[in-house]
Amino acid sequence: MAKAKASKGAGGITNKALHSRVSFLYQAAAYLATREPQYQHGKSAKQTGIHQDVLTVSQTSSNDNIRLPTQALSRLCISNLRAVSLKTQIRLSPSMKHSICKRCDIMLIDGSTCVSEIENKSKGGRKAWADVLIRRCKSCGYEKRFPCEAKRQAGRPHRPLKA
Protein backbone atom coordinates (compact mmCIF):
# COMPACT_ATOMS: atom_id res chain seq x y z
CA MET A 1 0.00 0.00 0.00
CA ALA A 2 1.08 3.53 -0.73
CA LYS A 3 1.57 6.19 1.90
CA ALA A 4 -1.35 8.51 2.51
CA LYS A 5 -0.79 11.95 1.07
CA ALA A 6 -0.74 14.85 3.46
CA SER A 7 -3.48 17.39 3.05
CA LYS A 8 -2.65 20.77 1.55
CA GLY A 9 -1.22 23.28 3.97
CA ALA A 10 -0.19 20.63 6.49
CA GLY A 11 3.41 20.44 5.19
CA GLY A 12 4.78 23.39 7.11
CA ILE A 13 8.36 24.62 7.20
CA THR A 14 11.26 22.21 7.36
CA ASN A 15 13.67 22.92 10.22
CA LYS A 16 11.18 25.23 11.90
CA ALA A 17 13.23 25.31 15.10
CA LEU A 18 16.30 26.56 13.21
CA HIS A 19 14.28 29.25 11.44
CA SER A 20 12.88 30.43 14.77
CA ARG A 21 16.40 30.44 16.26
CA VAL A 22 17.70 32.61 13.41
CA SER A 23 14.72 34.94 13.80
CA PHE A 24 15.27 35.21 17.56
CA LEU A 25 18.98 35.99 17.13
CA TYR A 26 18.17 38.72 14.60
CA GLN A 27 15.53 40.29 16.87
CA ALA A 28 17.88 40.15 19.87
CA ALA A 29 20.68 41.77 17.85
CA ALA A 30 18.35 44.52 16.63
CA TYR A 31 17.13 45.18 20.17
CA LEU A 32 20.63 45.31 21.62
CA ALA A 33 21.90 47.56 18.82
CA THR A 34 19.17 50.14 19.38
CA ARG A 35 19.13 49.96 23.18
CA GLU A 36 20.84 52.61 25.25
CA PRO A 37 23.25 51.07 27.80
CA GLN A 38 22.14 51.10 31.43
CA TYR A 39 24.47 52.11 34.26
CA GLN A 40 24.13 52.64 38.02
CA HIS A 41 20.84 51.14 39.19
CA GLY A 42 18.91 51.51 35.94
CA LYS A 43 19.96 55.08 35.13
CA SER A 44 21.28 55.72 31.65
CA ALA A 45 24.55 57.51 30.91
CA LYS A 46 22.67 60.68 29.90
CA GLN A 47 20.72 60.78 33.19
CA THR A 48 23.82 60.33 35.34
CA GLY A 49 25.83 62.99 33.52
CA ILE A 50 28.65 60.58 32.69
CA HIS A 51 30.14 61.07 29.27
CA GLN A 52 29.89 58.05 27.00
CA ASP A 53 33.54 58.31 25.98
CA VAL A 54 34.50 57.40 29.55
CA LEU A 55 32.36 54.25 29.38
CA THR A 56 34.03 52.64 26.38
CA VAL A 57 34.50 48.89 26.19
CA SER A 58 36.97 48.73 23.32
CA GLN A 59 38.03 50.85 20.38
CA THR A 60 38.91 49.83 16.87
CA SER A 61 42.39 50.53 15.56
CA SER A 62 41.15 52.07 12.29
CA ASN A 63 38.56 54.43 13.79
CA ASP A 64 37.95 55.94 17.20
CA ASN A 65 34.33 54.73 17.28
CA ILE A 66 32.93 53.97 20.71
CA ARG A 67 31.91 50.35 21.28
CA LEU A 68 29.21 50.05 23.91
CA PRO A 69 28.55 46.81 25.84
CA THR A 70 25.24 46.31 24.04
CA GLN A 71 26.98 46.71 20.66
CA ALA A 72 29.34 43.87 21.54
CA LEU A 73 26.41 41.61 22.48
CA SER A 74 24.63 42.59 19.27
CA ARG A 75 27.69 41.62 17.22
CA LEU A 76 27.87 38.28 19.05
CA CYS A 77 24.21 37.56 18.22
CA ILE A 78 24.80 38.40 14.56
CA SER A 79 27.90 36.21 14.35
CA ASN A 80 25.89 33.34 15.91
CA LEU A 81 23.07 34.01 13.42
CA ARG A 82 25.50 33.85 10.52
CA ALA A 83 27.06 30.63 11.85
CA VAL A 84 23.68 28.92 12.25
CA SER A 85 22.48 29.97 8.80
CA LEU A 86 25.69 28.84 7.10
CA LYS A 87 25.87 25.51 8.91
CA THR A 88 22.22 24.61 8.31
CA GLN A 89 22.10 26.20 4.83
CA ILE A 90 19.20 28.49 5.69
CA ARG A 91 18.89 31.51 3.44
CA LEU A 92 18.53 34.85 5.18
CA SER A 93 15.83 37.19 3.92
CA PRO A 94 17.05 40.19 1.88
CA SER A 95 15.92 42.61 4.60
CA MET A 96 18.14 40.78 7.11
CA LYS A 97 21.10 40.79 4.75
CA HIS A 98 20.68 44.49 3.98
CA SER A 99 20.79 45.43 7.66
CA ILE A 100 23.96 43.49 8.58
CA CYS A 101 27.54 44.47 7.69
CA LYS A 102 29.31 41.56 5.99
CA ARG A 103 32.76 42.49 7.19
CA CYS A 104 32.32 43.32 10.88
CA ASP A 105 28.92 41.72 11.78
CA ILE A 106 27.36 44.92 13.09
CA MET A 107 23.72 45.95 12.75
CA LEU A 108 23.48 48.80 10.23
CA ILE A 109 21.30 51.57 11.68
CA ASP A 110 21.08 54.85 9.76
CA GLY A 111 22.75 57.68 11.59
CA SER A 112 24.34 55.69 14.40
CA THR A 113 26.28 52.79 12.84
CA CYS A 114 26.07 53.59 9.13
CA VAL A 115 25.78 56.48 6.72
CA SER A 116 23.32 56.28 3.82
CA GLU A 117 23.53 58.34 0.67
CA ILE A 118 22.13 58.16 -2.85
CA GLU A 119 24.53 58.29 -5.77
CA ASN A 120 23.74 58.74 -9.46
CA LYS A 121 26.70 58.42 -11.83
CA SER A 122 24.65 58.88 -14.98
CA LYS A 123 25.13 61.92 -17.24
CA GLY A 124 24.72 64.68 -14.70
CA GLY A 125 22.25 62.61 -12.68
CA ARG A 126 19.57 62.90 -15.37
CA LYS A 127 18.64 59.21 -15.40
CA ALA A 128 16.36 58.55 -12.44
CA TRP A 129 16.69 54.77 -12.73
CA ALA A 130 20.45 55.00 -12.17
CA ASP A 131 20.06 55.97 -8.50
CA VAL A 132 22.02 53.71 -6.13
CA LEU A 133 21.63 53.68 -2.34
CA ILE A 134 25.02 53.37 -0.64
CA ARG A 135 25.20 52.28 3.00
CA ARG A 136 28.67 52.78 4.52
CA CYS A 137 29.50 51.11 7.84
CA LYS A 138 31.07 53.54 10.33
CA SER A 139 32.93 50.75 12.09
CA CYS A 140 34.88 49.20 9.21
CA GLY A 141 34.12 51.43 6.20
CA TYR A 142 32.53 48.64 4.10
CA GLU A 143 30.03 49.87 1.49
CA LYS A 144 26.86 48.11 0.39
CA ARG A 145 25.15 49.25 -2.81
CA PHE A 146 21.46 48.75 -3.62
CA PRO A 147 19.63 49.94 -6.73
CA CYS A 148 16.75 52.29 -5.93
CA GLU A 149 13.29 51.50 -7.21
CA ALA A 150 12.52 53.81 -10.11
CA LYS A 151 10.37 53.30 -13.16
CA ARG A 152 12.41 53.00 -16.34
CA GLN A 153 11.52 54.88 -19.47
CA ALA A 154 9.66 52.87 -22.11
CA GLY A 155 11.71 51.57 -25.05
CA ARG A 156 11.97 53.76 -28.11
CA PRO A 157 9.34 51.93 -30.19
CA HIS A 158 6.87 52.06 -27.26
CA ARG A 159 7.24 55.78 -26.42
CA PRO A 160 4.38 58.14 -27.27
CA LEU A 161 5.07 60.41 -30.21
CA LYS A 162 5.78 64.06 -29.46
CA ALA A 163 3.53 66.53 -31.26
| pLDDT (tens digit per residue) in 152-162 | 778 888 888 87
Interior/surface letters 154-163, b for 16+ CB within 10 angstroms, e for the rest = eeeeeeeeee
Strand partners, 136: 115, 143
Does residue 61 carry a pLDDT above 60? no
Query: pLDDT: is 131 or 76 the higher one?
Result: 76
The structural domains of the chain, with segments of one domain joined by +, span 16-158
CB 143 within 8 Å of CB 65: no
Q: Is it the case that residue 8 has pLDDT exceeding 70? A: no
- Per-chain mean pLDDT for the chain: 79
Q: Give mean pLDDT, residues 69-81.
A: 91
pTM for the structure as a whole: 0.66
